[in-house]
Amino acid sequence: MRAPGAVLVLALALLASPAAAQDGDFSGFVASLRSDAAARGISQGTFDAAFAGLGGPDPDVVARTRRQGEFSRPVWDYLVGAASGARIVKGQAQGKRLASTLAAIETKTGVPRAIVLAFWGVESDFGASAGSLPTIRALASLAYARHRGSLFRDELLAALQILENGDIAPARMVGSWAGAMGQVQFLPSVYLKEAVDFDGDGRRDIWRSEADSLASIAHYLRSLGWKPGLSWGYEVSLPKDFDLTRYRGPLADFAARGVRRTDGKPLPAGGEASLFLPGGLGAPVFLITDNFEVIRGYNTSDSYALAVGHLADRLAGGPALAAPWPNGAARLDGPGLKRLQAGLAARGLYAGDQDGRAGPKLREAVRQYQIREGLPADGYARPALLERLEGRP
């Protein structure tokens, strides 16, 4: 789900298994936090209230680190749920109800109201499913298990700072299993930097205030580099025998090479883009812009970014995707993607983590391998590619 750039709601998208639990009991772990909390200005009263009656770590929270939908499911399966017909209808109704608030946020930040609505919809179903797990216990469980090193320990301390500031009472600080909070699913460190008070009541309330939640989303996107006036991307069709090796460039150049939007509208004359084929040739093809990467700043999953972008288009009245997805086609699972990453790394083409997740680095490495081998350079990691890489027939 980068505290500007690295620690954000990104933690929601992490799949690594937790390390062994910290030496000593849970109460000892909590006690070890006191000095660091005091150094951040957190009073003893706030500390004690936060951990009162906490008990031990939540084993279900730690178990959840091993699975995450937007990384473990095919992009098309994830998209069906995230941008469902019911969500589009609900989101359009919410857009009408909150039209004046969304217009004011768009005027102030330059982030389109449909994008803000789409984030709100994907993160919490427009506030209806913001999570109910106590944030302090969730973060303490992950920090005690040393999941992702010190990341969740730092987030736990940040959550205590929020309580010290009086923005929320401990009993109302709830959210997801990974400590992401409220209608926008911010981690505490992101909340401290990016949450805003838009309704003017003196508190930054992403749990109950729709105005604060929507404005906080837009403010965060601007901090991540959102470029006003630029779409996240477009579904396009490619002409026959299109040169996939030239997959980055000006939108005007793509138009001159015969690339067309599937909705019949012209591509903009200005701006840069790159091709994105999340299901390979024969599936939907997209031209994505820098704003697609901004969406990934909120959550690093390609599936998530595509879902937000497409849902925003649908909320604004755009059409469904024109091309079909390869439902039922063989695809690489996590272990297969790890083998592919290792094989590409051995050839000097991949330098990212060998984590079994598809993303921009793996996509680029696959493209370079395809170009080297004279294959269609769609950047899609299919099983046949791994077989070729490993020398199997």
Is residue 306 pLDDT above 80, yes or no? yes
Higher pLDDT pick, 65 / 310: 310
pTM above 0.85, yes or no: yes
Q: How far is CA 378 from CA 30, 284, 382, in A?
A: 50, 12, 10
- Give pLDDT tens digits for 237-263: 999 999 999 999 999 999 999 999 999
**What tokens appear for 204 in the block?**
């930054």
- Give pLDDT tens digits for 209-222: 999 999 999 999 99
Coil vs helix vs strand at 323: coil
Is residue 354 pLDDT above 70, yes or no? yes
Q: Which of 70, 123, 235, 364 is catalytic?
A: 123
What average pLDDT is seen over the chain?
Answer: 91
> Which pLDDT score is estimated for 67?
58
Identify whether 293 is a catalytic site residue. no
Q: What letters, b where the CB count within 10 A reaches 16 and e where it falls short, cover 280-308?
A: beebbbbbbbbbbbbbbbbbbbbbbbbbb
- Give pLDDT tens digits for 79-120: 988 999 999 999 999 999 999 999 999 999 999 999 999 999
State the pLDDT confidence band at 66, using cuts at 50, 70 and 90: low
Counting beta carbons within 10 angstroms of the beta carbon of residue 240, is it exposed (0 to 12), middle (13 to 18) or buried (19 or more)?
exposed
What sign does the dihedral 125-127-128-129 (CA atoms) show? Answer: positive
